[in-house]
């Protein structure tokens, strides 16, 4: 892999131990985080920041999510081989890479053109090939659904109805809900055509889910 050394691997191993100690137990999630060279997803690969369990700026006023947060959302999705997953908020592409490592077929939407173009060019260089879409994630991808899982990686002021309707029966949506400086991680399971179950999992901090494109 491009510029991935024994040093990076060692730091990643410690990062995996750290998020495991914080409660992430899905072995597939831990394996994916242990494999993906997070330092390559950052502006100027600040190695020592890349393997801290922290969010980091990626340009255009956006962030690469904290590894623990990525792991937490991914674990809640219960990804299986060939799961069809929709991600809202491509950003750096790191979350998409985690999903692909776990065997998912990934569709990802970004509303910031600059980031969309950058990540669409970058991610395939690492061998990760999601389907990239430029647009407003509030609407989802009605023509490509329904999905086994939908993950929203920005703070949503409310749960978008369009996204709920793009879940398969038995599908799971993981969405941080709330405005301001924190959101409540929420799992929505579609139990039947018109039956949805909601479970909450405490506070997280995300950049806001915005309307329209930029
Ligand atoms: N999953 C990303 C996290 C990036 S932060 C990663 O792993 O790096 C959240 C991203 O959501 C930002 O890039 C932001 O531009 C994008 N975003 C915000 N509102 C959106 C919307 N309505 N549709 C699509 N993307 C959106």
| Non-local CB neighbours of 74 within 8 Å, separated by 6+ positions | 26, 29, 32, 95, 98, 99, 102, 151
Report the relative pairing of strands 105-110 and 84-88 from DSSP bridges.
Answer: parallel
- With 60 as the cut, is the pLDDT of residue 1 above it? no
The pLDDT value given to residue 94: 97
What domains lie within the chain, and their CATH numbers? 6-204 (3.40.50.150)
Q: How far is the CA of 116 from the centre of ligand 1 (A)?
A: 10
Asked if 200 contacts 186 with a C-beta cutoff of 8 angstroms, the reply is yes
Q: Where are the beta strands (DSSP E) in 99-163?
A: 105-110, 131-134, 147-152
**Does the active-site annotation cover 21?**
no
11 torsion bin: left (phi>0), alpha (psi -120 to 50), beta (else): alpha
Tell which one of 54, 111, 166 to mutate to probe ligand 1, the residue whose CB is within 8 A of the most ligand atoms.
111
Note the pLDDT tens digit of each residue in 134-160.
Answer: 999 999 999 999 999 999 999 999 999
- With 80 as the cut, is the pLDDT of residue 177 above it? yes
Note the pLDDT tens digit of each residue in 76-122.
Answer: 999 999 999 999 999 999 999 999 999 999 999 999 999 999 999 99
Catalytic site residue from 21, 25, 44, 65: 65
Nearest ligand 1 atom to alpha carbon 214 = 15
Side by side, which strands form the sheet with 167-177? 131-134, 105-110, 84-88, 147-152, 167-177, 183-192, 195-204
Residue % of the chain over a pLDDT of 90: 88
Residue % of the chain over a pLDDT of 70: 98
| Full-model pTM | 0.97
Q: How far is the CA of 191 from the centre of ligand 1 (A)?
A: 27
**Atom 14 of ligand 1: nearest residue by CA position:** 89
Tell me what the pLDDT averaged over the chain comes to. Answer: 95
Q: How far is the CA of 154 from the centre of ligand 1 (A)?
A: 6
Distances 100 to 11, 58, 79, 93, 138 between C-alpha atoms, Å? 22, 21, 10, 11, 22
């Amino acid at each position: 892999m491009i510029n991935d050394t024994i040093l990076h691997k060692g730091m990643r191993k410690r990062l995996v131990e750290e998020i495991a100690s914080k409660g992430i137990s899905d072995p597939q999630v831990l394996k994916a985080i242990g494999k993906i060279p997070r330092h390559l997803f950052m502006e100027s690969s600040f190695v020592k920041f890349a393997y801290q369990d922290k969010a980091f700026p990626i340009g255009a006023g956006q962030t690469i999510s904290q590894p623990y947060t990525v792991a937490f959302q991914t674990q809640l999705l219960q990804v299986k081989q060939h799961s069809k997953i929709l991600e809202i908020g491509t950003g750096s592409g790191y979350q998409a890479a985690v999903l692909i490592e776990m065997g998912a077929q990934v569709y990802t939407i970004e509303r910031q053109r600059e980031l969309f173009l950058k990540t669409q060019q970058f991610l395939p260089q690492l061998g990760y090939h999601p389907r990239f879409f430029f647009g407003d994630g509030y609407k989802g991808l009605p023509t490509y659904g329904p999905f086994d899982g939908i993950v929203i990686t920005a703070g949503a002021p409310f749960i978008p109805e369009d996204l709920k309707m793009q879940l398969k029966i038995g599908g799971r949506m993981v969405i941080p809900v709330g405005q301001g400086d924190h959101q409540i991680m929420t799992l929505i399971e579609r139990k039947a055509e018109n039956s949805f179950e909601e479970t909450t999992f405490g506070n997280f901090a995300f950049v806001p889910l915005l309307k329209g494109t930029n």
